[in-house]
Structure formats: structure tokens, C-alpha cells
Chains A and B, each alone.
Chain A
């Protein structure tokens, strides 16, 4: 009898251990997480949630959505990036007003947060284990976050399949691009009420660099490189720049009919007359991207970027 009890205890203990694993997060914390988390809440949907959804894991909750599920950040990335009818995560309270009761009611088995949430650990940890994933450059760039999340959630195969398809598209597109230039340069800008050079985290930048373009040096303005998204550049400096490819994205908040018109209107306001003196504009070397589709650090965003570049190439060849 004693042997049976001992064996049952041993089995239960082994099962418990098998259902959990201890990992070290990017903040250097040792976190015990479920072996196969089923109910994940993300604290940064565009940077942490969208990469997961592309890998096939839909979070149950997301910070940045209202309890009704409506996105509160000007754009619903799930709707714009994925064609499929994906179930949306529930919101855990409006920005700055996290509802801990709502969060707990979702019964999360893992909270995926960024270094921006370190000050919330005291409140989040009693609800579920919190894994901190660094989202700021220079620690992260391109698809790194998605690749690391794939490893964490044992979705490496899915990531490799997505990446292989993407690489094939890049290879084909690169053959038709910049045949004459050696080491062609690019500058990607994001328009708010000013012009901002985009940092390296997005799928758009990964795609442009995979196509063989190299980031145009901005001199001293390159020093400030600790943002997730971008660094501002003056419109005066912007007017003098001449990259081989200028990539322009407009703010998520712009309500223009399409992203291209919106971006042109924004440029008119920030740098009036840009289309007369900006060399890439005069020589049709501008690609307009829909920021709501291309700024997440995912292969999906990179694919949307390739779509826009292909469309630009077709328009260019038609005009010629």
C-alpha cells in the first residue's frame, strides 16, 4: 500500500513538473510558466500580440483594448494585418486604467509584458506569471521578437515555414529591383506632426533591408536610438536627403481616404513644396506604406511591405 501511495505521489509530482517549465525572461527574472500556455494576456498588442497571432496563438486579453474588445490605439492591428476572421482578445481596461479584476476574470496562465511594464509587476504577478520581453531597440530588431516568442512557445516550425515563404518572395522581388545600384540606400519615415525616421523593429524595415537596401546615415540624429518606433528628424534636414528609396508611412490617426493621399497631405503640411525639391519625389523613388499594416515586428507586416513595393514597381514600369 505504501509503495502505491509513494508511486502515486511521484507520478503526480512528475506530472506537475511536466506541465510547467522555468525560463529566464529578458529582465533576467526566473519565471515558471505553463509548458503550453493556453490563456495568454499581452500588455503590448502590436509588438507582442500580433507576432503571437501570426504563429497561431490568439491571446485571451490585451492591454490597449477596451473591455468591449474595441481597440483604443487608433487602429485595430488584428483587422488590418490579418485577412482571416480572428477572434479578438478581450480588453483589460483603458490605457492607464488597467482593470485588475477584469484581467483576473480572464484567468490568464501567462502575462506577456514588456520592460515598460516593470513598474506593474507587483499588481500583475499575483494574477499570473509575468514574462518580460524586451521590445526596445537596440536589443531587438526585425523579426527577433517573433522568433524568440516562437522559441518560447515552441512554435519554431510555424515560424520557419512563414519565414521560408517570405524569403522566397524576397528572393524573387530582389531580382527585379535596383539592378544598377550598388548598396542602395533607404530612408523610412513615419509622419506624425513631424517627420520621424523609423527604427529597426518593424516588419517593414526587415523587408526593405532583406531586399538589399541599407539604412541611410542620418549623422548625429542616429545617436538617439532607444525608441521602439522612431527618432524625429527636422524637415530642413529631410529636404536635403537623397536615399535611393524613400519609404513614407503616415500616422495611424490620419483619417484620409487612403494611406497614400494621407501621407501626401501630411508632407504638404510639414514640408510644403516637398514634391518640387525632394529628389526621391521628383524621380518617383517613394513607396507609400500603410503604417497600420507594416509596423509590427512580424513576417505578416514584412509581407504587406513586399506587396506595396511590388505595386510601386508595377506603377513605375507602367509610367516608363
Chain B
């Protein structure tokens, strides 16, 4: 019984659950997380139900409890839909967390792995591999993406000097510069490779969950599990980063040590996601902002709830893409924009109205 949390109030008067080791969870964050989880479960049910092969909700529940489906249904459920659903959630989760991490690190709400050039580093390496080694294995693609992301991160730290006093804005501006250079290389590849290779590149850049096989889900799983360890370890550091480098150092944080580690964590998550589904632009910015709109967030809770929002958005985008499977191809990147951007605008507008009302 001693491990059960006790209810209380935080310094700002909000209700919290307090654990014996001093950890506090705001009840509002907890209820938001539960609500998001419920939404994810509902959308997951829709996603698993959707497709060419008909699987009723009853058959689905029976299958999940161990019953055997017919061959067509078994293939549709276990080979296509479940891996696709899991991959959608894990990818959304990872990109959103990477975005939240980068925003805290740069102390800039516009930051995300894409803006820092990390995604572009991975993307450029993958595109080069598609052009130079069309039959490259998945391991080669994943390794090259990781190398691309890490190279950009290392270059970024080296270019800004790596000093503890380097401002977050300097990292962001240097990231934008690197991203621009790498984008131009990507454009060159698309423009000057043979037509059909260029179509293949554009196809990949649009993003797709076609590669979400059980094998690829298992390959991604270690990164997903690793993200939980990252949330636990990095969460408190990020709260200090948000106060500024000087305040963070005054609170005992070694910026020289933690910044490369945090950047490496974001690189791992974002490149793993890019390798699996292609670049899902804007999700890294979108998810943390929507999460912050839902409930006031900081530290671990911010990463966790951003991750849930990211997962929810990608599952929604996949559902939209698959339900529109008609004569118009809608890549998942486009679906994500169609769903996420109106939500983003709505969240920002409501926040603005809120502020105006308070003043």
C-alpha cells in the first residue's frame, strides 16, 4: 500500500497525485492521457475494421481473444492491419517526442527534427541509397538514415561550438541552414535522376505505411521501448532547459554532457520513424502544441502526452488515407496535414482568444 500515491495540490494549486519518492502527476495530465488512450483505442478499432476483407467487430474481438479467423481475414488482420496500426502509433509517438525534445532544447516552439535538419540528413542518405543502390536491404537503409541523422547532429553541435553558453536560437538557425543545404541536395536528386527513379523518390517522400510488416514493427520496437527510458531520464532535464542555459546550469545540469545525449535521443527516434514511413513533416511541431493546448505540460508528462497525440494523429491519418482509397491517391503525409493542421490552427486560435479574455 505504501506505493499508492496520495492526492494533494502542487505549488500552483493544481490537483496532483504524489508518490512517496516525491514524483508528482497532475490529475489533469492523467485524465488527458486516459482520454487520449481511449481515443486511440477507438480509432484503432476503426482502423482494424477498415479494408477490403470484411471483419466484424465480433470477429475482431474473438480473434483478439485467440479464436481462429478464416484465411483471408487472418491475413488481413495479422499481416496487414495490426502491424500497420502498431507502426502508425509508434512512428507518431516517436516523431512527436523528438519534436517536443527539440523545442525544449532550442527553447523555440517552432523547432522539430525537420527544422534542425535531422530528418533531412536521414532523408538525403536514404535517397542517395535509393539512387546508388536500388536493391539496398532494409538494414542498409536504416543504418544510412541513422548515420545521416547523427552526422547532421554532430555537425550541428560542432558548428555552434558545443559550448554550454550557446543559445538555443543559434542551434535552431544553424539547423535551418543545414536543412536548407540538404533539401537542395534532395531537390537535385529528384530533378536530375532518371524519371522513374525520381518518381520512386517522390513516392517515398510522400510517406507510406506500406512497409509496416510484422518484421518491421519488431525492428522498430526497440526504439519505441527505448523512448520510455528516454522520457524518464530526459524529461526532468528538459524542464531545466526551458528555463534557459544559465538557469539550467545553476540547477546543476551539465549542458556540455546532456545536450549531445538529448540530441542523440531525438536523432534515434526521428530517423527510425523516417526510415519506416518516410518524412512526416510538421508532426514534430504539431503534436507537442496540440498536447500543450489540451493540458498544461512540462517535463516527462509533456513528452508522454505529446507522444500519445502524435500516435493518435498518425493513426487518424492512416484511417483517412485508407477510407479514401478511391481514384485519388492520398499519401499519409497529406492526410496528416489535412487532419493535423486544422486542429493546430484551432488550438492556436482558442489559446489566443483565451489570452485576450484573461487580459
Residues of A at under 8 Å CB distance from B?
Answer: 27, 66-68, 70, 72, 93-102, 104-105, 115-116, 118-120, 122-123, 126, 136, 224, 226-231
List the 10 shortest-distance A-B pairs measured between CB atoms, nearest first. Answer: A94-B329, A227-B194, A101-B52, A66-B327, A96-B203, A102-B52, A118-B135, A101-B51, A101-B76, A70-B327
Asked, given contacts A96-B208, A102-B52, whether A68 binds B326 with beta carbons under 8 Å apart, the answer is yes
Within the complex, which residue of A118, A126, A229 is in contact with B134, where a contact is CB–CB below 8 Å? Answer: A118
Q: Nearest B residue to A103 by beta-carbon distance?
A: B52
Return A61 CB to nearest CB of chain B, in Å: 12
Q: Nearest B residue to A126 by beta-carbon distance?
A: B79
Report the Cα distance A206→B51, complex, angstroms: 43
Return B38 CB to nearest CB of chain A, in Å: 27
A97 touches B210 (CB 8 A): yes
Residues of B at under 8 Å CB distance from A?
Answer: 51-53, 72, 75-76, 79-80, 134-135, 194-196, 200, 203, 206, 208, 210-211, 213, 215, 321, 325-331
Most buried by A among B76, B196, B208: B196
Q: Nearest A residue to B52 by beta-carbon distance?
A: A101
B208 touches A122 (CB 8 A): no
Q: Can you report 5 A-B residue pairs in the complex whose CB atoms are below 8 A from each other?
A: A102-B52, A119-B135, A123-B210, A123-B211, A136-B196
Within the complex, which residue of A96, A99, A226 is in contact with B52, where a contact is CB–CB below 8 Å? Answer: A99
A66 touches B72 (CB 8 A): no
Return B117 CB to nearest CB of chain A, in Å: 25
Report the Cα distance A123→B72, complex, angstroms: 15
B196 touches A228 (CB 8 A): yes
Report the Cα distance A226→B198, complex, angstroms: 12
Asked, given contacts A70-B327, A95-B203, A96-B331, whether A226 binds B321 with beta carbons under 8 Å apart, the answer is no
Main secondary structure of the interface of B (DSSP, over half): loop
Main secondary structure of the interface of A (DSSP, over half): loop
Chain B positions within 8 Å of A98 at CB level? 210
A99 touches B215 (CB 8 A): no
Return B176 CB to nearest CB of chain A, in Å: 29
Report the Cα distance A66→B76, complex, angstroms: 19
B196 touches A105 (CB 8 A): no
Asked, given contacts A105-B53, A118-B135, whether A230 binds B195 with beta carbons under 8 Å apart, the answer is yes
Report the Cα distance A68→B325, complex, angstroms: 10
Report the Cα distance A116→B201, complex, angstroms: 11
Report the Cα distance A6→B137, complex, angstroms: 45
Return A62 CB to nearest CB of chain B, in Å: 14
